Amino acid sequence: MEQLVIKGNVRLNGEVSISGAKNAALAILPAAILSNDVCVIENVPCVNDIKILLQSMEQLGVLIQYIDEHKVKIDSRNIHNLKIDYDYIKKIRASYYLLGALLGKYKEAEVALPGGCNIGSRPIDQHIKGFEALGANVDVMHGMIVAKASQLIGTNIFLDVVSVGATINIMLAAVLASGTTTIENAAKEPHIVDVANFLNSMGADIKGAGTDVIKINGVKELHGAEYMIIPDQIEAGTYMVAGAITGGDVTVTNIIPKHMEAISAKLSEMGVVIEEYDEAIRVIANEPLKNIHVKTLPYPGFPTDMQPQMTAILSKTSGTSIMTESIFENRFSYTNELNRMGANIKVEGNTAVIEGVAQLTGAEVSAPDLRAGAGIVLAALAAKGETTITGVEYIDRGYEHLENKLRGIGANVYRVLDKADKSIFKVV
């Protein structure tokens, strides 16, 4: 079982380049199958979720060719299967975007119903409501969602909850529908805009992405396109916190600073110096960190995907901080692991009360999910002594070359194959 071993309490210093956005890529790659031609997607992050998604697309008959590590050619001209099995869904929930894309193009799709996951129950009722409003019949049979339509017709859809996944899936299904679809109470995350921009680059007609009303005028067909995915907001935020939690001086490059505003504002409130450049942010932490309160919200609010990383740094301030999670019901399980590292966090319902401590200490801990894993890695970077982290497979789902990037800014981090042999160093 692979583990990360981190010798912490080292001030991080230097530049780290941010990869393409995982959650944008998870939607843009399936969106490419809506075209009747070949698409070339650049800045695709080299993370496990993407590798699994591309394998599931191959199962449909899509030809996938890696031009280089981050550039993928997608040829959807010979799709012969409209069914995605549970094997893929259980590994990555986001293969549900194939439902919207296949339904949009072929008016038919069959995708295994995703279950809950480690951060909560995660229903998809809003996706289904959208497909049905467009005219599809959606049934759940033998664990599969089966969606079929004789035709898809544009309509008004008001989302009962602001959902990133439902907003994207409805855009995918509506782009080739006849007439106009309006999504109200739409999510506004940067990757929603990225997916809309990609679809528009293939000839779609989508307006308003990035606001809470998106209008999709259906078009007859989509052509091939070349497209570059935006940088990963959450990966960037994670490295910003890495600089701040270690009292370091770290510049994240290849980013869109506008996407980072909620995170920059909170770090600034804690006393961290934030310098913004055109495509970079420098984080300098010389002063003791102040306690603050944070609430996760849909974009442009503070992202839930940065909640564990922020909790990790708040555990090192000089006072009491409150973290309120308003998006997912079960996103605090990692706090037990942070407490084993000397943190003092009490969770009640959707709130964590974090009493800052002077020093975290290394321990043997386990990552329960992707972002929780990132939070634990950050705590380990600041902790005195050695931390061994299991559950690395979760972290590999969303962070490209994590240890290489961390080592590039001075961290002492190794991947070992098992606890007994810390000398086996696996370069990824």
The widest CA-to-CA distance across the chain, in whole angstroms, is 64
Under a CB-based contact definition with an 8 Å cutoff, are residues 176 and 220 in contact?
yes
Determine the Cα angle at 256 with ends 251 and 262, to 5°: 85
Closest CA to 154 of 219, 99, 101, 202: 219
Q: Tell me how far CA of residue 363 lies from CA of 8, 221, 353, 418, in angstroms.
A: 11, 56, 22, 16
Q: Tell me how far CA of residue 201 lies from CA of 32, 35, 36, 183, 331, in angstroms.
A: 11, 11, 14, 20, 36
Among 18, 26, 145, 343, binds ligand EPZ (CB under 6 A): 26
Q: Could you say whether residue 188 binds ligand EPZ (CB under 6 A)?
A: no
Q: Could you say whether residue 164 binds ligand EPZ (CB under 6 A)?
A: yes
* Choice between 305 and 396, CB closer to ligand EPZ: 305
Among 149, 166, 206, 392, binds ligand EPZ (CB under 6 A): 166
Among 196, 202, 281, 327, binds ligand EPZ (CB under 6 A): 327
Cβ 98 to ligand EPZ shortest distance, Å: 12
Among 122, 282, 295, 401, binds ligand EPZ (CB under 6 A): 122
CA distance 327 to 163: 10
* Choice between 371 and 415, CB closer to ligand EPZ: 371
* Choice between 245 and 395, CB closer to ligand EPZ: 395
Cβ 268 to ligand EPZ shortest distance, Å: 22
Q: Could you say whether residue 328 binds ligand EPZ (CB under 6 A)?
A: yes
Cβ 23 to ligand EPZ shortest distance, Å: 3
Restricted to residues 62-91, the positions that interact with ligand EPZ (CB under 6 A) are none
Among 110, 305, 337, 400, binds ligand EPZ (CB under 6 A): 305
Residues with catalytic function: 117
Restricted to residues 253-292, the positions that interact with ligand EPZ (CB under 6 A) are none
Cβ 122 to ligand EPZ shortest distance, Å: 5
CA distance 406 to 382: 13
Q: Could you say whether residue 321 binds ligand EPZ (CB under 6 A)?
A: no
CA distance 37 to 345: 52
Q: Tell me how crowded residue 13 is: count the other CB atoms within 10 A of its CB.
A: 15
Q: Could you say whether residue 398 binds ligand EPZ (CB under 6 A)?
A: yes
Please report, as a single letter, which amino acid is at residue 411. Answer: A
Q: Could you say whether residue 20 binds ligand EPZ (CB under 6 A)?
A: no
Of 125-133, 137-145, 222-230, 253-261, which part binds ligand EPZ (CB under 6 A)?
125-133
* Choice between 123 and 288, CB closer to ligand EPZ: 123
* Choice between 107 and 127, CB closer to ligand EPZ: 127
Q: Could you say whether residue 116 binds ligand EPZ (CB under 6 A)?
A: no
Phi, psi angles (nearest 5°) of residue 286: -105, -25
Q: Could you say whether residue 127 binds ligand EPZ (CB under 6 A)?
A: yes
Residue 210's region, left for phi above 0, alpha for psi from -120 to 50, else beta, is left
* Choice between 249 and 400, CB closer to ligand EPZ: 400
Among 161, 265, 353, 424, binds ligand EPZ (CB under 6 A): 161
Concatenated DSSP letters for 144-158? Answer: EEEEE-S--B--EEE
The answer for residues whose C-beta is within 8 angstroms of residue 47's C-beta and 6 or more apart is 19, 22, 396, 397, 398, 399, 400
Cβ 425 to ligand EPZ shortest distance, Å: 27
Q: Could you say whether residue 1 binds ligand EPZ (CB under 6 A)?
A: no
The answer for residues whose C-beta is within 8 angstroms of residue 46's C-beta and 6 or more apart is 19, 69, 70, 400, 401
Restricted to residues 94-113, the positions that interact with ligand EPZ (CB under 6 A) are 94
Cβ 308 to ligand EPZ shortest distance, Å: 10
Of 40-48, 123-131, 265-273, 280-288, which part binds ligand EPZ (CB under 6 A)?
123-131
Q: Tell me how far CA of residue 51 lies from CA of 77, 118, 138, 232, 279, in angstroms.
A: 21, 21, 28, 17, 27
CA distance 359 to 295: 25
Sheet of 156-158: strand order equals 156-158, 180-184, 213-217, 205-207
Give the DSSP H/E element, type plus range, for residue 130: helix 125-133
CA distance 62 to 68: 18
Among 126, 311, 321, 366, binds ligand EPZ (CB under 6 A): 126
* Choice between 75 and 235, CB closer to ligand EPZ: 235
Binding site for ligand EPZ (CB under 6 A): 23, 26, 94, 122-127, 161, 163-166, 187, 304-305, 327-328, 370-371, 398
